[in-house]
Amino acid sequence: MMRRVVFNQKGGVGKSSIAVNLAAISASRGLRTLVVDLDPQCNSSHYLLGEDYADYSPDIRGFFEQTLSFQLKPAGPEQFIHPTRFDNLAVMPANTELGDLQSKLETKHKIYKLRDALDQLDAEYDAIYIDTPPAFNFFTLSALVAAKRCLIPFDCDEFARQALYNLLANVHETRADHNAGLEVEGIVVNQYQSRATAPRQIVEDLEADNLPVLKSRISSSVKMKESHNEASPLVHMAPGHKLTQEFMALYDELHEEVALAV
């Protein structure tokens, strides 16, 4: 079972868009797929469940709240998961008040609880995608501890490039301290403008530094906003669109890499 975390400490780089659209492609190809939304902004939850995403309960906040108190018969992780209207695709939705629990969870050392929960779901899902908040905090660390592979969105900004090295250091430290099996799967160049000189130069510099930049590029397109507004991933809303094809190429590239690694 593949567990992939989509992680960047910078906001606005497309974490939710990448997590949801890859998950939707996975589900469309017959794999039982789960999205775990750890971001209090709830973008993945809204993307998959629509405007009434907050009505889906229990959610990820309930899962973490449960870990803070002793219960003889705690609810299993499957109780916090909800089906979407798309075949084979489910979500553990986020909650806007999730951040309120962070200090308590850190104090009680609950950093392995998400990993343990996903271990219990191994037989239920073929692929799990974890969306994270734009910060290196308890929830992103929980995701990195629970995942097997880390996918890093990158939006061709010079400041983002400088932050990327710090991000990679955090991932490597997490691997050393908590999750020896974690691999950086690759850097996804997102919102790419192929005709602009600066983005091309930044990507070339990353490749020159031997960073794991994936070949597939995700273009900047208004179709992505339309997809969010309609709460319908691209593979369902616009299967023939160029942006959808780029996501499919990214999905195939990732799975070719997995096949080669096995």
CA dist list (Å): 32 to 25, 88, 231, 237: 11, 5, 20, 20
Domains of the chain: 2-261 (3.40.50.300)
User: What is the per-residue pLDDT across 219-242, written as a single tens digit (0 to 9) for each?
Assistant: 999 999 999 999 999 999 999 999
Confidence check: pLDDT of 259 > 80 = no
Confidence check: pLDDT of 171 > 80 = yes
In whole angstroms, what is the distance from residue 142 CA to residue 113 CA? 8
What region does 55 belong to: left with phi over 0, alpha with psi -120 to 50, or beta?
alpha
Asked if 85 and 47 touch (Cβ cutoff 8 Å), the reply is no
Residue 90 backbone phi and psi in degrees, to 5: -125, 165
Confidence check: pLDDT of 262 > 60 = no
Indicate the pTM of the whole model: 0.95
Tell me, what's the pLDDT at 210?
93
In whole angstroms, what is the distance from residue 142 CA to residue 105 CA? 10
**Average pLDDT in the 146-155 region?**
96
Closest CA to 211 of 172, 179, 180, 256: 172
Please name the residues in contact with 210: beta carbons below 8 A apart, sequence gap of 6 or more. none
For residue 100, the tally of other CB atoms under 10 A from its CB is: 12
Tell me, what's the pLDDT at 197?
82
